[in-house]
């Protein structure tokens, strides 16, 4: 049988290493997503306040993450922290910080957009019942916003999961890096290994992100009123 390179995937050791790499990916993604969602809600509500100064500040922050590539941010903090603060942040910490900052900005913008899309008469009729500012948020605005937010928030989550592949550049052992190592190790024996390994990783990303986006579709249906 000609050596197709497929057998690199059949090695238990290789699979175990890829799985560990996947854990690295998911760890960074999950921590960042949780932080982003929580902080993003506050950030977004802050942006809906009609304070010009706060709004401009928030806008600058958001655009800083939109305009500058995430990879540049990762490098900036990874190498910058050593030079400026004389602390050595490890790759995982740097990644979680940058991904959370980015996610918070994007999530905030989603929350802002959704909250301001809720018609003013919803505010007024809630206020007319004597509800306090907080109660209006809690019972009327946030429940409606949540339903509208779900699709774009979940879209953001899948984007974040995908983008974690960048952390390979700050030395984090995640699935892509492990794959590269296996490919390099097998280069001589199995020139086709790269095809199978990257193909496998492709499949893994798909397996993670596809159910998330399916779930979002389902929520959208269930929550439509």
* Binding-site ranges for other proteins (CB under 8 A): 119, 121-122, 124-132, 135, 139-140, 143-144, 147, 225
Cite the DSSP H helix spans in 69-90.
Answer: 70-84
Q: How far is the CB of 141 from other proteins (least distance, A)?
A: 10
Handedness of CA 203, 190, 20, 69 (dihedral sign): negative
Total residue length of the chain: 225
**How far is residue 73 from each of residues 81, 89, 164, 173, measured CA to CA in Å?**
11, 14, 13, 19
The b-or-e profile of 152-188 (16+ CB within 10 A means b, else e) is bbbebbbebbebbebbbebebbbbbbbbbbbbeebee
Cβ 160 to other proteins shortest distance, Å: 28
Instruction: Say how many C-beta atoms besides its own lie within 10 A of residue 80's C-beta.
Output: 13
Rg (CA), the chain: 22
Q: Decide whether 195 or 223 has the Cβ nearer to other proteins.
A: 223
Least distance (Å) from other proteins to the CB of residue 171?
46
Residue 29 tokens, joined: 């993604």
Q: Which is nearer to other proteins, 4 or 122 (CB)?
A: 122
Cβ closest to other proteins, residue 140 vs residue 157: 140
Q: Which is nearer to other proteins, 11 or 125 (CB)?
A: 125
CB 145 to other proteins: min, Å: 10
Crossing angle of the two packed helices 142-163 and 12-48, in degrees rounded to 10: 140
Nearest approach, Cβ of 151 to other proteins (angstroms)?
A: 16
CA distance 133 to 136: 5
At its nearest, how many Å lie between other proteins and the CB of residue 181? 50
Q: Which is nearer to other proteins, 22 or 140 (CB)?
A: 140
């Amino acid at each position: 049988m000609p050596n197709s390179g497929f057998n690199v995937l059949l090695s238990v050791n290789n699979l175990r290493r890829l799985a560990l790499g996947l854990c690295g990916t998911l760890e960074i993604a999950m921590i960042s997503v949780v932080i982003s969602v929580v902080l993003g809600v506050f950030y977004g509500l802050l942006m809906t306040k009609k304070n010009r100064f706060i709004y401009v500040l928030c806008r600058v922050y958001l655009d800083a993450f939109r305009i500058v590539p995430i990879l540049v941010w990762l490098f900036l903090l990874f190498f910058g922290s050593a030079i400026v603060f004389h602390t050595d942040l490890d790759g995982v910490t740097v990644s979680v910080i940058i991904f959370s900052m980015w996610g918070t900005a994007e999530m905030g913008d989603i929350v802002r957009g959704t909250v301001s899309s809720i018609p003013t008469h919803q505010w007024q009729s809630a206020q007319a019942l004597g509800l306090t500012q907080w109660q209006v948020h809690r019972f009327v605005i946030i429940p409606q916003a949540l339903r509208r937010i779900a699709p774009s928030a979940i879209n953001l989550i899948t984007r974040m999961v995908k983008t974690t592949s960048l952390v390979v550049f700050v030395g984090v052992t995640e699935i892509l890096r492990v794959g590269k190592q296996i490919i390099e190790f097998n280069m001589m024996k199995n020139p086709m290994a790269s095809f199978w390994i990257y193909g496998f990783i492709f499949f893994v990303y798909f397996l993670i992100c596809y159910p998330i986006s399916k779930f979002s579709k389902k929520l959208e249906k269930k929550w439509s009123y």
